[in-house]
Amino acid sequence: MSLDDLTTYTVHKILAGKEVCTFERLVVECFKSFPEVFSLRGYPEYPDSARVNKSWLRCRTDKGWITGNVKMGFRLTDSGLHVAERTEQELLSGGLSVTAKRTRKARERGEAIVDFIRRHPSYLRYRREGKGFHITEHELRHMLSCTMETPVRVLRQNLNQIIEILEAYHENELLSFVNLCAKEIWPSLKRKGR
């Protein structure tokens, strides 16, 4: 079940309750109905309004399921009503998992950074080699999105930002990896005075 199916169903649910489907109401109801899908990554107690915004725009522009806008509110087209009713039946039958259908694309910068570190060749090698792992300065600079000419000050800023994001996302294994890499390379960078 896609995010857009759930958004369309939620518009239908609001309208069926004889309410005006404003953007704010849609964000709240999406989050209340499907918190595992419509919450902020790293802050699951809060709704992600950007997710809802992108979804209703796709439903209106690309799929033709929703009409309206943030200022005037939302309504369903005939095809949108069909999608909402089908989604409702699938939800009632309990035959599918909403939590499994989380978008694989990074929704925000923090997620993009977590994904970048998780897929980085150095991290993959670290997972394979374990205690025998060593990183080069070039690999660390690449992981920090820096060149060999980038000053140490900028490296430190990028490193601190990555560490903050990994902490916020509770990515403890990635955090240990990044700290290990920094600990291994940082003394030589200081000696070079770059």
pLDDT value at position 98?
A: 52
What's the average model confidence in pLDDT over 122-138? Answer: 89
What's the average model confidence in pLDDT over 13-18? Answer: 95
Q: What are phi and psi of 168, to 5 degrees?
A: -65, -35
Asked if the model's pLDDT at residue 126 lies above 80, the reply is: yes
In a domain, 180, yes or no: yes
Question: With contact defined as beta carbons under 8 Å apart, do 54 and 61 qualify?
Answer: no
What residues are paired with 43 via a beta bridge? 40
pLDDT value at position 130?
A: 84
Helical pair 3-16 and 78-93, crossing angle rounded to 10 deg: 100
- The string of pLDDT tens digits covering residues 139-156 is 988 998 888 888 888 888
In a shared domain, residues 87 and 128: no
In a shared domain, residues 120 and 80: no
In a shared domain, residues 167 and 89: no
Stretch among 93-97, 99-103, 136-140 having the lowest mean pLDDT: 99-103
pLDDT value at position 99?
A: 44
Asked if the model's pLDDT at residue 105 lies above 70, the reply is: no
In a domain, 118, yes or no: yes
By percentage, how much of the chain surpasses pLDDT 70?
A: 89
pTM exceeds 0.85: no
In a shared domain, residues 10 and 88: yes
How does residue 95 score in pLDDT terms, banded at 50, 70 and 90?
low
pLDDT value at position 117?
A: 92
Asked if the model's pLDDT at residue 188 lies above 90, the reply is: no
| Final residue of a structural domain among 93, 118, 141 | 93
Closest by Cα among 72, 96, 107, 115 to 9: 96
pLDDT value at position 84?
A: 94
If one counts the domains in the chain, the total is 2
In a shared domain, residues 139 and 187: yes
- State the average pLDDT for the chain: 86
Q: Which domain holds residue 18?
A: 3-93
In a shared domain, residues 79 and 138: no
In a shared domain, residues 58 and 140: no
∠ CA 19-25-30, nearest 5°, is 110
The gap between the terminal CA atoms of the chain, to the nearest Å, is: 51
In a domain, 103, yes or no: no
- Tell me the CATH number at 43: 1.10.10.10
pLDDT value at position 107?
A: 54
| Final residue of a structural domain among 40, 66, 93 | 93
| Final residue of a structural domain among 45, 60, 93 | 93
- The string of pLDDT tens digits covering residues 26-79 is 999 999 999 989 998 778 899 999 999 999 999 999 999 999 999 999 999 999
In a domain, 172, yes or no: yes
